[in-house]
Amino acid sequence: MKHLLGENHNPRLDFLKFIGPGLLVTVGFIDPGNWAANVAAGSDYGYSLLWMVTLATIMLIVLQHNAAHLGIVTGNCLSEAAAVHLKPWASKSVLFTAILAAVSTALAELLGGAIALNMLFKIPLKLGTLIVFAFVMIMLFSNSYKKLEKLIIGFVSLIGISFLIELCMVHVEWVKAVPSWVTPAFPAGSIPVIMSVLGAVVMPHNLFLHSEVIQSRQWNLQNDEVIKKQLKYEFFDTLFSMIIGWAINSAMILVAAATFFTYGLHVTELNQAQEMLRPMLGNASSIVFALALLFSGLSSSLTAGMAGGSIFAGIFKEPYDIKDSHTKIGVCITLILSTIIIFFIKSPFQGLIYSQMFLSVQLPISIFLQIYLTSSEKVMGKYKNSIRGNITLWVIGLIVTGLNIALLLSYIM
C-alpha cells in the first residue's frame, strides 16, 4: 500500500480516499425539488421552517450511514439485499414503489434543469427537458462511477459557491434565523410545505444509491480490518457531505425569506423567483440563481438515473452496471417515464412540490425495509444494528410516518 501512496503518505489523510460517495448522494438533496420546497418555505413562512432542514439532515445522516453500512458489510446494495432476503412478492412490491420514487425524483431534476435553461436562454420548457434528458443519458451510458463522481463533486462545489454569492447579496435577520434552526414551528397551512422539505432532503432513491455506490468500490469483505476502516471513514464522508447539503438548503430558505417573505411576495414559480430577484438584487443575482439551478438539475438527474438503474438491477439480484441490460432498462424507465410525465404537467412549480411530497410518502417504506435488513443477524452478521442504533432508526421511521399522517389529515380536514 505504501508504494502506491508514496513515501510521503500521511495516514491522517487516509479519509480523503473515501470522500466521494457522500457527495454523490448530497447532490440528490440539493436538487430542483429542494429549490421549489425551500423557496416555498422561505417565501411563505420566512425563517420559521429552517428547523425542518436541521431535523431532516440529522435523519439523513443516520439513514445514509446505515444504508452505506449495509453496502460495506454485505457487498449488496439495498435493492439487491431486499431481493435476496425478502420473499419475491414482498421485494418486488417494495422495489416497485422505490422505482416510482426514482421516477418522481428524476421528474423534478429534469424539470429543474429545463426551467434553468428557460431562465438563461429562453428555451421552451419541453425542449429544455429533452436537452437535459439527452445530456444525462449520454453521460450515464459513457462514464464510469469515478468520472461521474468527479463531475458531480464539481457541480456541488459550483452550487455551493453560487449560494454563498446570493447570501452575500441579501440582508439576513440572523437574530430570527438562528433560533429557527432548532425551534420547531407549524405555521397555519404549512404541513404540505414541511412534508415537501422532508421529502426533498430525506430521499428514498438516495438510500438505494448510497448503498450501491459504496459497495461498488469492491473492498475486501473478508477482512475485518478493512470493513472497520471503511465504516469509520464512510461516516466522516457522510457527515461532511450532509453538512454541506444542510448549509446549501438552509441558504435557499434564507435567501427566499430575506427577499420574498420580507416584501410579502408569494412565489409560485422558480422563473418568478428569478424575476423577483433581479430588481431587488440586480441582474447578476438572477443569473447566479439560474446557473446554480442548471448545475443542480444536471447533476441530480444523473444520480436519479443511477438510482433507478440500481433499484431495477437489484430486483434481479444484480449490482448496478451500465453495460448490463437490467441496469440499462432501469435507467431508461426512470428517465424516459419522467420525461413523458413532464410533457403533461400544467404547473412546473407545483409539479416540483408534489414530486417531493410523493417521495416523503414512499420514504417510510424504504426506511422500514432498511431497518429490517440492517438489524438482521442473518444479513449483517456481527455488524447488525446495535440496540441504540435500532431505537434511533425506529424513532426516525415513526416521525416520518407521523408527518405523513399529518399530511393526509391536512387534505381530509
**pLDDT digits over 45-98, tens only?**
999 999 999 998 998 899 999 998 898 888 899 999 999 999 999 999 999 999
Give 125-168 pLDDT, tens digit per residue. 999 999 999 999 999 998 766 677 778 778 878 888 888 888 88
CB neighbour list of residue 355: distance below 8 Å, 6 or more residues apart? 33, 104, 105, 107, 108
* Amino acid 133: pLDDT: 97
Cβ atoms of residues 148 and 24 within 8 Å: yes
Three state DSSP letters for 112-155: HHHHHHHHHHCCCHHHHHHHHHHHHHHHHHHCCHHHHHHHHHHH
Q: What is the pLDDT of residues 332-389, one digit of tens each?
A: 999 999 999 999 888 776 776 677 667 777 888 999 999 999 999 999 999 999 999 9
> Is 128 buried (19+), middle (13-18) or exposed (0-12) by CB count in 10 A?
buried
The pLDDT value given to residue 329: 97
CATH topology of domain 14-257+265-412: Amino acid/polyamine transporter I (1.20.1740)
Sign of the C-alpha dihedral computed for residues 185, 66, 363 and 321 taken in this order: positive
By the 10 Å C-beta count (0-12 exposed, 13-18 middle, 19+ buried), 388 is classed as exposed
Q: Which three cell numbers stand for residue 181?
A: 434552526
What pTM value is reported for the model?
0.83
Which tops the pLDDT comparison, 44 or 277? Answer: 44
d(CA 332, CA 400): 30
**Mind giving me the DSSP string for 204-227?**
HHHHHHHHHHHHTT---TT-HHHH
Residue 282 cell numbers, joined = 440586480
- The reported pLDDT for the residue numbered 108 is 84
Cα separation, 180 vs 260, in Å, equals: 18
